[in-house]
Structure 1
Amino acid sequence: MTWLRKPWVGPLAFVVVAFVAFSLPPYLTGDRLQARVQSDWGPHYPFLVMHVVCASVAILTCVVQIWPWFRSRFPAWHRRVGRVYVLAGVLPAGLSGLVIGWMTPFGPVAQVSNVLLALLWLTFTWLAWQAARRRQFRDHRKWMIRSFVLTLSIITNRIWGVVAFLLLADRVPEAELPNAISGIATWVGWTIPLLISQWWLERKPRRRVAAEQPSAPEPALM
């Protein structure tokens, strides 16, 4: 079976589904107290619910979109799921992310990171959409990879949050600890994956390098 040649698809899908199953339910109850991020700003909660629900749509459809077997076997459905990813996922999640990012209770360091992340997420996705409409599929693929990386960065954000807690718990005053952890996790959670994806996009596979190397000149005829 050709889809088994991409063994990362299954583990990635499992992690994403488990993450959504853990993160989404508290925001479907309508109970503000169950939100994992609390803020004194009144409209924060509805924007947060919108962000979490739509980001869940984005991250779930993201896995389907980057599955090579599905993309090559069902191109029409790839386009349909892509529209869901953009219009029901990234667009509302990114716009609401700008609001809650600006109004974050975790300090200015996390604020700048969250706003910049939302702006880049929206921009990369829009550029990918435009490239697809112009049938520039190579550019579409590159911009979508960048978009997907930012979509999945919410998971790496949580991992770095645990690492930051373990490193800072005994070194930072308790009152400052949440802001310090959030500041580190929000920046590292998306910048490192984005840099890695950019390196991956710019790398030259061995076969391509060999093809690009000039061949030795032929001896001149006497």
Structure 2
Amino acid sequence: MRQLRLALCLFLAVGIAFVSMRFLDFQPKDILLDKGALADHPVYLIGFYTHVGLGILALLSGPFQFMDKLRVRQLTWHRTLGKVYVVCCLLSGLAGFGIAWFANERWVTSFGFAALAVAWVWTTGRAYRHIRAGQVELHRQWMYRSFALTFAAVTLRLWLPLMTFGLKWSFATSYQIVSWLCWVPNLLLIEIWLRRQRKEADFQRAVGG
């Protein structure tokens, strides 16, 4: 079941990454043209392309961190991909925080994406700090939290068309809601799952003891 979930995550991650790559040809896009003068501002463009490009790499490298075979049999690859993931998350998150304040339909949207960026950088930083300290189990838990936020790139693109095309809500309303809905439920679900795992581990220790 766990391998099936990983496979589904990887499938969705690859799909969204492929769709997002269209923003990396440095050609004018609606998402940039809507920004007016910002579409030609070099600082904003650096932030935008950093966020998108490194976010794609984080999305693609993340699922491999949770594959037991890679971690056990190819530890060097696991560590290398882990470093790539951490760097991509931190830089993409910082860039995302900067461009969040210029999001469409702000202020609700801006605060939603800015909060996501802060949580993303924080959880990834915690994961890295714990592995540097040799705290493998805590590292594992924080990596799950980090990737739950990385996966917001996927859930955003699932929720938004559902609201705009399925529920016929306006784009403005949908975008404001999805700026929070794309990541808060992800984090809550992974937290519930981690707590359940801890309870099961405690029970197994109690039975074994």
TM-score tier after normalising by the smaller chain length: 0.7 to 0.9
Alignment of 1:159-198 (within 5 A): 159-165=158-164, 166-169=166-169, 177-198=170-191
After superposition, what is the alpha-carbon deviation per residue over 1:179-220, rounded to whole angstroms, capped at 9, x for unaligned? 21111111111000100100111115557426437x9xxxxx
Return the TM-score normalized by structure 2: 0.87
1:36 positional shift:
3.3
Superposition CA RMSD, Å: 2.2
After superposition, what is the alpha-carbon deviation per residue over 1:81-107, rounded to whole angstroms, capped at 9, x for unaligned? 1111112x1121011101111111221
* Amino acid in structure 2 at the alignment position of 1:75: L
* Amino acid in structure 1 at the alignment position of 2:138: D
Gaps of 5+ in 1: 170-176, 216-222
After superposition, what is the alpha-carbon deviation per residue over 1:92-143, rounded to whole angstroms, capped at 9, x for unaligned? 1011101111111221111111000000100111111110000011111111
Match for residue 124 of structure 2? 125
Q: How many residues align?
A: 202
* Amino acid in structure 1 at the alignment position of 2:178: A
Match for residue 77 of structure 1? 77
* Amino acid in structure 2 at the alignment position of 1:185: V
* Amino acid in structure 2 at the alignment position of 1:99: G
* Amino acid in structure 1 at the alignment position of 2:122: T
**Cα separation, partners in 2 of 1:180 and 1:71, compared to 1, 3 Å:** same
1:14 positional shift:
2.0
Gaps of 5+ in 2: none
1:23 aligns with 2:16: no
Larger radius of gyration: 1
Match for residue 137 of structure 2? 138
* Amino acid in structure 1 at the alignment position of 2:29: Q
More helix by share: 2
**Cα separation, partners in 2 of 1:64 and 1:35, compared to 1, 3 Å:** farther
* Secondary structure class of the residue paired with 1:8: helix
* Amino acid in structure 1 at the alignment position of 2:7: G
Match for residue 12 of structure 1? 9
Q: 2:35 aligns with which of 39, 58, 65?
A: 39
Match for residue 174 of structure 1? none
**Cα separation, partners in 2 of 1:134 and 1:185, compared to 1, 3 Å:** same
Return the TM-score normalized by structure 1: 0.83
CA contact (8 A) 1:52 1:93 kept: yes
Match for residue 112 of structure 1? 111
Q: Percent identity?
A: 27
